[in-house]
Amino acid sequence: MKKKTEADRSDIMKYPHAYNPKPYLCTVCGKRFARKLSLTIHSKRHDGQNLRYSCTYCGKPFSNQYYLQRHMNVHSSKYKCTECGKCCQNKPALIRHKRIHSGEKPFECTVCSKRFAISCNLVRHSRIHNGEKPYKCSLCNKSFGESGSMKRHRRDIHSNKRPHDCPYCGKLFKANSELKRHVHIHTGAKPYSCRHCSERFTWHHQLKRHLLKSHNEGTWLTCNICQKKICNKNPLKLHLLQHDGVKPFVCNECHKCFCSSTELKQHQSVHTNVKQFCYGFSGKDFKRKTTVKIHFRKCVQNM
């Protein structure tokens, strides 16, 4: 099937929803827009045409001066978070970001009363109750409830490109968001801070788990089979797969099966001699990150 490179008339689709202020959907990447004209302008980015304006700092291209100027605010630090130093494109983006630190959640689900910091998260959550799956992959027609899920599907299933490389270790990534998360390993950045105590965290899910365990803030997710309490959605999904005995990820070398792609990737290091993790103090290389941690604890005990 030929890959679609830009939105055509069939890509301009309306999905009426009580919470959805952006009815125009780009079926190439899943991004939504409030106006049809915005979708038309956005669609030109998929074929690489009309990107005449480039950022003088990072070279990122844009289709018009408005998007370029909004992007330049990141470099100028015009909208900078005083808590963690993150720079946003505009004032609304900064307001949404600050809710990470304040814990404010002004948007509430009318069905289960769960609250959210931003409206689009409420829109995605509401699909759990109504079963709506408005995002469809243009390559295989599989439907998704979230645009992010569709993007990851297209990236992981239909593409082998890894254009983003780590400046510290050279590791390649399919998405820039993956690279940004990975770089925290090298820099030691901890942008997520607890408002109740002095603890800071590298990842948002670590902060969420800390708030639940230490300050009883938030909602535990409960396994409906064994009643085990779990902090986050993805670990709960993996936990349920273990109950079902479902192991959809198969190693192409030895045909061993696993519940998740992460477990499969960790296992595949058995079939290679590549040792990508290095412990700087001893100079030893390891295949797995967990082995590095074990080695580190042994070094500390022997000091």
For position 274, what pLDDT does the model report? 55
Give, in order, the Cα–Cα distances in Å from 230 to each of 16, 129, 216, 245, 262.
Answer: 34, 21, 13, 19, 18
| pTM for this model (two decimals) | 0.44
191 vs 87: CA distance, rounded Å: 12
Q: Which residues of 227-237 are buried (b: 16+ CB within 10 A; e: fewer)?
A: eeebbeeeebe
Chain segment 221-252, per-residue pLDDT in tens = 888 888 888 887 778 877 887 787 777 778 88
Chain segment 99-158, per-residue pLDDT in tens = 888 888 998 988 888 888 888 888 888 888 888 888 888 888 888 887 777 877 877 778
- Residues paired with 108 in a beta bridge: 115
For position 223, what pLDDT does the model report? 84
Residue 8 pLDDT exceeds 50 = no
Mean per-residue pLDDT over the chain, rounded = 76
Query: Of 14-18, 99-103, 113-117, 257-261, where does mean pLDDT reach its minimum?
Result: 14-18
Residues with Cβ within 8 Å of 130's Cβ and at least 6 positions away in sequence, in order, are none
Domain residue extents for the chain: 275-303
Q: Which two tokens stand for residue 303?
A: 């000091």
Chain segment 148-191, per-residue pLDDT in tens = 778 778 777 787 788 888 888 888 887 777 888 788 777 778 88
Q: In the structure, what pLDDT confidence band is assigned to residue 94 with cuts at 50, 70 and 90?
A: very high
Mean predicted confidence (pLDDT) in 26-44: 75
7 vs 14: CA distance, rounded Å: 14
- Which comes out higher in pLDDT, residue 2 or 132? 132
Residue written as tokens 């130093």? 85
